[in-house]
Amino acid sequence: MVHSDQQKRLDKFNYILASINLSNSPILVEGKRDKRALKKLGCTGNIIELNNGHSLLITVESLVTSYSSKSFIILTDWDRTGNILAEKLKKYGESCDLSPNMKIRDELILLGSNDISCIEELPTLIYKFHRETKAYR
């Protein structure tokens, strides 16, 4: 039973990662550790750190000129600060005629909400899934 649940969660994560990698949308994360975590998991997209010395609005506005995609993926943590940032990014993106994607963030929240609360902890959770599913083979 544990194996089945962990395997389903691992499969779901692999699906999410594949959809991120197939997208040509930039990915907005809070900082360096989040970017490093996504790269460690095999994320190949353009990852932009919000903690870059610019305001959120300037960062979102730069997406219009820097990327051909009219959408961007919001991957902030699911703590209070991350939720506030996500809502601001969504609002700013819509005001710039962009399509903010919060669906992937929502899926990651469902996937890891009982175990983790931030993007930088994803590799630890995924490696835990790998270990536990291999233990039952």
pLDDT tens sequence across 19-57: 999 998 999 999 999 999 999 999 999 999 999 999 999
Cα separation of the two ends of the chain: 12
Please determine, for residue 1, whether its predicted confidence score (pLDDT) is greater than 80: no
Integer Cα distance of 81 and 59 in angstroms: 17
Integer Cα distance of 94 and 133 in angstroms: 41
Please determine, for residue 131, whether its predicted confidence score (pLDDT) is greater than 90: no
pLDDT tens sequence across 47-97: 999 999 999 999 999 999 898 889 999 999 999 999 999 999 999 999 999
Integer Cα distance of 88 and 76 in angstroms: 11
The confidence score (pLDDT) of residue 128 equals 87
Give the domain range for residue 122: 2-135
Burial class (CB in 10 A: 0-12, 13-18, 19+), 100: buried
pLDDT band at 2 (very low <50, low <70, confident <90, very high): low
Minimum mean pLDDT range among 103-107, 119-123, 131-135: 131-135
Please determine, for residue 130, whether its predicted confidence score (pLDDT) is greater than 90: no
Q: Closest Cα to residue 18, out of 134, 102, 104, 78?
A: 104
CATH value at residue 114: 3.40.1360.10
Angle at which helices 103-112 and 2-22 cross, to 10°: 160
- Contact in structure between 76 and 59 (CB atoms under 8 Å): no
The confidence score (pLDDT) of residue 6 equals 81
- Contact in structure between 83 and 43 (CB atoms under 8 Å): no
pLDDT band at 129 (very low <50, low <70, confident <90, very high): confident
Integer Cα distance of 107 and 110 in angstroms: 5
Q: Structurally, how many domains does the chain consist of? A: 1
Integer Cα distance of 137 and 131 in angstroms: 10
